[in-house]
């Protein structure tokens, strides 16, 4: 199902993931200007979220583009804060969507649909059962996050190769976006072939010039290769950072570094935490977490977000041209 009926300002079904502390107003606005939809990362601070949303609205005030923003549902206990942000920007018409993620999303959907009937409610899920439940609750769009995704995701999930087709089949009439491991136009072509109505890219836009990721972390990610081997799913980095309030059915995928390696060889947790704390102050990403998906090996440069969108579209069109018209048996 096409997403154009829900997102009238987009030219391409390319969505910039709302990554906490990475997807600020600049990258979101740039993705939207380039023809996709940029989403601001909600993160843990509602004050920062409010400022980023306001900044993006101001940036795009005289332009025909929209943005959305993400909400960490387990972290924001008071839904009225998000409703207030939406009311503050409602007259601008610039914020067309909210992306819910982090558990108990069904508690958020009714109020958002009631108070903002034009708002597109997107819900990120990791399995078919959750997708069906969110559709029953009124979700407009399902984001099928596969196990290749960077950052936080479901501890029990599959890759988009099986997850997307099954969700599409189980949730007829609802657009499904594919997320996880998509870093180039070939990946977009593959995801759309699976039945996805659009794609979400995180790691690729994380390595944009506009993203908020520190330069040293960007350089670490740019050097990473063979993402299935050099990234790992673990809750260890949340333990190091003190963000263990994530629900237990979530884990996080990041680039392997000394922290995970020393943990696996038995170094005491207290020592690991002390070393991690020191590394944070020094911006030492040989220990500090750098979230990334398995597609990180396909991303080797830091580009303007608009150029990334242009490249993705070009690569997608090339993939379409190269696709066989029939079996060659």
- Position 75 pLDDT exceeds 70: yes
| pLDDT one-digit tens code per residue, 258-283 | 999 999 999 999 999 999 999 999 99
**What's the distance, CA 61 to chain centroid?**
24
pLDDT at 43 over 90: no
Q: Would residue 152 show up in a list of annotated catalytic residues for this protein?
A: yes
Alpha carbon distance 122, 41 (integer Å)? 14
**How confident is the model over 285-308, as pLDDT tens digits?**
999 999 999 999 999 999 999 999
Do 208 and 222 fall into the same domain?
no
What's the pLDDT tens digit per position in 140-152?
Answer: 999 999 999 999 9
274 plus 261 within the same structural domain: yes
Same domain membership, residue 247 and residue 315: no
Residue 1 pLDDT grade (very low, low, confident, very high; cuts 50, 70, 90): low
Q: Verify that 183 and 256 share a domain, yes or no.
A: no
For residue 45, what is the domain's CATH number?
A: 3.20.20.70
The catalytically annotated residue of 152, 204, 253, 287 is 152
Q: Does residue 306 form part of some domain?
A: yes
Q: What is the domain range of residue 225?
A: 215-282
Alpha helices, DSSP H only, in 138-266?
160-170, 185-193, 203-206, 215-223, 227-230, 236-241, 258-264
pTM, entire model: 0.96
Residues 229 and 263 in one domain: yes
């Amino acid at each position: 199902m096409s997403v154009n009926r829900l997102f009238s300002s987009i030219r391409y079904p390319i969505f910039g993931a709302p990554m906490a502390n990475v997807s600020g107003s600049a990258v979101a606005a740039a993705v939207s200007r380039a023809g996709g939809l940029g989403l601001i990362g909600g993160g843990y601070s509602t004050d920062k979220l409010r400022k980023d949303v306001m900044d993006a609205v101001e940036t795009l005030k005289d332009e025909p583009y929209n943005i959305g923003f993400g909400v960490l549902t387990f972290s924001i206990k008071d839904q009225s804060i998000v409703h207030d942000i939406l009311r503050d920007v409602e007259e601008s018409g610039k914020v067309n969507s909210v992306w819910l993620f982090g558990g108990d999303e069904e508690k958020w959907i009714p109020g958002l649909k009631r108070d903002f009937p034009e708002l597109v409610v997107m819900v990120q899920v990791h399995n078919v059962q959750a997708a069906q439940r969110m559709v029953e609750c009124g979700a407009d769009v399902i984001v099928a996050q596969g196990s290749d995704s960077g950052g936080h995701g479901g501890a029990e999930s599959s890759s988009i190769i099986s997850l997307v087709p099954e969700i599409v089949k189980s949730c007829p009439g609802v657009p499904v976006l594919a997320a996880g491991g998509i870093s180039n136009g070939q990946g977009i072509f593959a995801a759309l072939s699976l039945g996805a109505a659009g794609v979400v890219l995180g790691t690729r836009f994380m390595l944009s010039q506009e993203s908020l990721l520190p330069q040293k972390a960007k350089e670490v990610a740019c050097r990473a290769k063979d993402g299935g081997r050099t990234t790992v799913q673990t809750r260890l980095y949340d333990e190091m950072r003190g963000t263990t309030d994530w629900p237990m059915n979530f884990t996080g995928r990041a680039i392997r570094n000394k922290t995970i390696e020393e943990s696996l060889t038995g170094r005491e947790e207290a020592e690991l935490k002390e070393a991690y704390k020191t590394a944070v102050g020094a911006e030492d990403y040989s220990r500090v977490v750098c979230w990334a998906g398995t597609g990180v090996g396909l991303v080797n440069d830091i580009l303007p977000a608009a150029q990334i969108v242009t490249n993705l579209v070009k690569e997608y069109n090339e993939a379409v041209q190269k696709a066989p018209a029939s079996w060659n048996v």
